[in-house]
Amino acid sequence: MTQQQPVLALDVGGTKLAAGAVARDGTMRSFCQIETAVGEGPTAVVKRLLDLGDQALTEAHLSIDEVGAVGVGCGGPLDPATGVILGPPGLPGWDAVPLGQLVAERFGDPAYVENDATAAALGEYRWGGWGVEDLVYLTVSTGFGGGIVASGNLFRGAARQGGELGHVVVDWQGRQCGCGARGCAEAYVSGTSIARRATEAVAGSGSTLTGLPITAKAVAEHARAGDRIAREIWDETTAMLGRMVAVLINVCEPELVVLGGGVTRAGAQLLDPVREAALRQAMPPAARACDVVLSHHGDAVGVLGAAAIAYERLEDA
Amino acid sequence: MTQQQPVLALDVGGTKLAAGAVARDGTMRSFCQIETAVGEGPTAVVKRLLDLGDQALTEAHLSIDEVGAVGVGCGGPLDPATGVILGPPGLPGWDAVPLGQLVAERFGDPAYVENDATAAALGEYRWGGWGVEDLVYLTVSTGFGGGIVASGNLFRGAARQGGELGHVVVDWQGRQCGCGARGCAEAYVSGTSIARRATEAVAGSGSTLTGLPITAKAVAEHARAGDRIAREIWDETTAMLGRMVAVLINVCEPELVVLGGGVTRAGAQLLDPVREAALRQAMPPAARACDVVLSHHGDAVGVLGAAAIAYERLEDA
């Protein structure tokens, strides 16, 4: 590929699939998004993902020959070396799905698969406009995870999972997490967990959420409107996220913690209490060196992350 | 300096002062150790530290002209750029002590000051014989702290504290820590905390520790001998350390977590339960890529760490 060729980027979320053509400076030349419909199983979902990739190329007026590589972000665990997906909790049935190979076969280009939140951390570093060399990115989405950039390099770790940030324990006596442990951050901080805890709490409570389809978005809205139960769930969520961010500030001493993902659409209702709690609870020198902010990338954060991975791996190749 | 010149290394602990001359391959050409006697205040303690440095040179048959630099490890917070100590909890009265300057004036060589546990992580990386590129070192000593080596480089972080590992929260509803927060690892895992919690628990309990001077060592011995109270304190300590190590394995995905410091003299009584808990609680891919071990450096771990810092900074200079 030449330095000028754009990449195709694919983002496999538990709720949404997204695709886009992304130029080296982070400009999105196209962006398409559809529902994942995870219940259809991996074969059908992967087919629609690949079709969405074609659509993103068409919308960008690109033929596949004009693209240098395909970057793919997906929930982990997965093997970034082989591109095989290893049964992520948010994608039931995706055991040993050779996603990298399927993407490479369809597009005839090298395909680079990475954990979606790890990828998004690199996207925020490259194109977030933050001007920092050390950041932690956390995605509060269907699931919860994150990635670390240290001294301008994406951190991958000995297990190549880029940090299991969703499974940092915030309350060892707390809720059972899907991973089997107790009190992981993800047991409190994710759209799925917010909706589940609200559903449990609403039963017989007289909450204004009673009888409604309970989503993280509904919990945020009803909390804003003053519903006590919704507010308790929201406050617990931000408190646990604040604690977890404080742990990360102490361990990683980043210049910035960037929050993204669908639940961050709540804006200041999420950011303000998390930022306050995290910077208060972290050790003062580490807290003073750091800030907590929201990503500006909105729904495109996953596609930009996947694109950043494609460029990074091409540079290393 | 030439590549062959040894360095002088000084280690300021809350309980012990140590000094040694260390060759580039990690060979200790001398090692001297005395009590810190922290109650005497910084002026007197620093004078004895500098005298101990002279003694280490004499024992190694070295004149100061034959030494390339002086490395100094000390409890943080401190400023590694200026060598000023900023009131560490383990060294009461050490506010704004210009330790680097005092050392440089005495020996006429460049002096490089670093957090002692951060320094020890680099010493374990260079001379621990582990053959890994990614490790976390934790010191369980008078205090509790640690350092991170990632891809063969000492991690320093935006706040230049190298990670505030002692203040990772293991129980947000737990004991008050000296830093003001609740449930930091250091509130459970340190010689000071073990002795303090045992002292609280022994009162009126019929424990075999009653009436004895209660130290972490005594708690370990009485726990081994079957005393219920001592065992409860020891088990709580190893459980909390195990949780904290699991968090670090999830965040940092190291190949190795190395435990050192005076409390690790308890050997398998400390290591076995911590290792079991940490590897069970961390996410399986990260746990499989990692092991938890004891440092082989014993009391010399601080001096070797300080020496490693001196060599690292000379290489960067």
Residues A169 and A156 in one domain: yes
Residues A109 and A189 in one domain: no
Structural domain contains residue A1: no
Residues A71 and A159 in one domain: no
Place of tokens 């000296």: B178
- The pLDDT of residue A3 is 56
Q: Strand B144-150 to strand A111-115: parallel, antiparallel, or no bridges (unpaired)?
A: unpaired
Structural domain contains residue B290: yes
Average pLDDT of chain A to the nearest whole number: 95
pLDDT digits (tens, 9 = 90+) for B209-258: 999 999 999 999 999 999 999 999 999 999 999 999 999 999 999 999 99
Structural domain contains residue B2: no
The contacts of residue A172 (CB under 8 Å, 6+ apart) are A182, A183, B170, B171, B243
Strand partners for B184: B169
Say yes or no: B81 contacts chain A, CB-CB below 8 A.
no
Residues A100 and A142 in one domain: no
Burial state string for B226-242 with b = 16 or more CB within 10 A and e = fewer than 16:
ebebbbbbbebbbbbbb
Place of tokens 């596609």: A303
pTM score:
0.94
Interface test with A, best of B138, B252, B253, B279 (most A CBs within 10 A): B253
Q: Does residue A1 have a pLDDT over 70?
A: no
Q: Which helix (H) or strand (E) holds A294?
A: strand A291-294
Say yes or no: B179 contacts chain A, CB-CB below 8 A.
yes
Amino acid at A76: G
Find, in chain A, the residue whose alpha carbon is nearest to that of B248: A251
Structural domain contains residue A266: yes
Contact at 8 Å (CB) between B169 and A246? yes
Contact at 8 Å (CB) between A228 and A183? no
This model of the complex carries an ipTM of: 0.93
- The pLDDT of residue A310 is 97
Q: Where are the alpha helices (DSSP H) in chain B?
A: 42-59, 99-107, 116-127, 191-202, 216-224, 228-252, 268-281, 284-288, 301-316
Q: Does residue A252 have a pLDDT over 90?
A: yes
Task: Phi first, then psi: give them for residue B142, nearest 5 degrees.
Answer: -50, -45
pLDDT digits (tens, 9 = 90+) for A131-179: 999 999 999 998 999 999 999 999 999 988 899 999 999 999 999 998 8
Residues A82 and A114 in one domain: yes
The contacts of residue A290 (CB under 8 Å, 6+ apart) are A249, A253, A254, A255, A256, A257, A279, A282, B158, B159
- The pLDDT of residue B220 is 98
Residues B169 and B282 in one domain: yes
Query: What percent of chain B stands above pLDDT 90?
Result: 91
Average pLDDT of chain B to the nearest whole number: 95
Give the separation between CA B220 and CA B273, rounded to whole angstroms.
Answer: 13
User: In Å, how far is A240's CA from the nearest CA of chain B?
Assistant: 10
Residues in chain B: 317
Find, in chain A, the residue whose alpha carbon is nearest to that of B181: A281
Mean pLDDT of B82-100: 93
Amino acid at B162: G
Residues A67 and A100 in one domain: yes
Structural domain contains residue A228: yes
Amino acid at A275: R
Contact at 8 Å (CB) between B130 and B119? no
Concatenating the DSSP letter of every residue in B147-206 gives EEEETTEE---TTSSS--GGG-BS-TTSPBPTTSSBSBGGGTSSHHHHHHHHHHHHTTT-
Give the separation between CA A259 and CA A275, rounded to whole angstroms.
Answer: 10
Give the separation between CA A118 and CA A166, rounded to whole angstroms.
Answer: 12
Q: In A, which residues are within 8 Å of B168 by CB distance?
A: 247, 250-251
Residues B266 and B141 in one domain: yes
Give the separation between CA A308 and CA A97, rounded to whole angstroms.
Answer: 23
Strand partners for B293: B258
Contact at 8 Å (CB) between B257 and B136? yes
- The pLDDT of residue A49 is 98
Cα-based distances in Å from A304 to A11, A57, A109, A308: 9, 15, 18, 6
Residues A137 and A55 in one domain: no
Q: Does residue A233 have a pLDDT over 80?
A: yes
Residues B153 and B257 in one domain: yes
Find, in chain A, the residue whose alpha carbon is nearest to that of B179: A283
Residues A82 and A173 in one domain: no
- The pLDDT of residue B3 is 56
pLDDT bin (cut points 50, 70, 90) of residue B148 is very high
Structural domain contains residue A249: yes
Give the separation between CA A232 and CA A229, rounded to whole angstroms.
Answer: 5
Q: In B, which residues are within 8 Å of A181 by CB distance?
A: 281
User: In Å, how far is B103's CA from the nearest CA of chain A?
Assistant: 25
Task: Phi first, then psi: give them for residue B15, nearest 5 degrees.
Answer: -115, -40
Residues B87 and B155 in one domain: no
Amino acid at B150: A
Say yes or no: B175 contacts chain A, CB-CB below 8 A.
no
Structural domain contains residue B1: no
Domain enclosing residue B96, as ranges? 7-121+300-316
Q: In A, which residues are within 8 Å of B288 by CB distance?
A: 159
pLDDT bin (cut points 50, 70, 90) of residue B124 is very high
- Report B:118-157 residues touching A (Cβ under 8 A): 132, 134, 148, 150-151, 153, 155-157
DSSP state of A177: P
Give chain A's domain count: 2
Give the separation between CA A82 and CA B220, rounded to whole angstroms.
Answer: 47
Q: Strand A256-260 to strand B16-22: parallel, antiparallel, or no bridges (unpaired)?
A: unpaired
Structural domain contains residue A2: no
CATH of the domain at B57: 3.30.420.40
Does the beta-carbon distance from A253 to B283 stay under 8 Å? Answer: no
User: In Å, how far is B134's CA from the nearest CA of chain A?
Assistant: 7
Query: What percent of chain B stands above pLDDT 70?
Result: 99
pLDDT bin (cut points 50, 70, 90) of residue A2 is low
Q: In B, which residues are within 8 Å of A255 by CB distance?
A: 158
Cα-based distances in Å from A181 to A176, A184, B125, B246: 6, 7, 31, 11
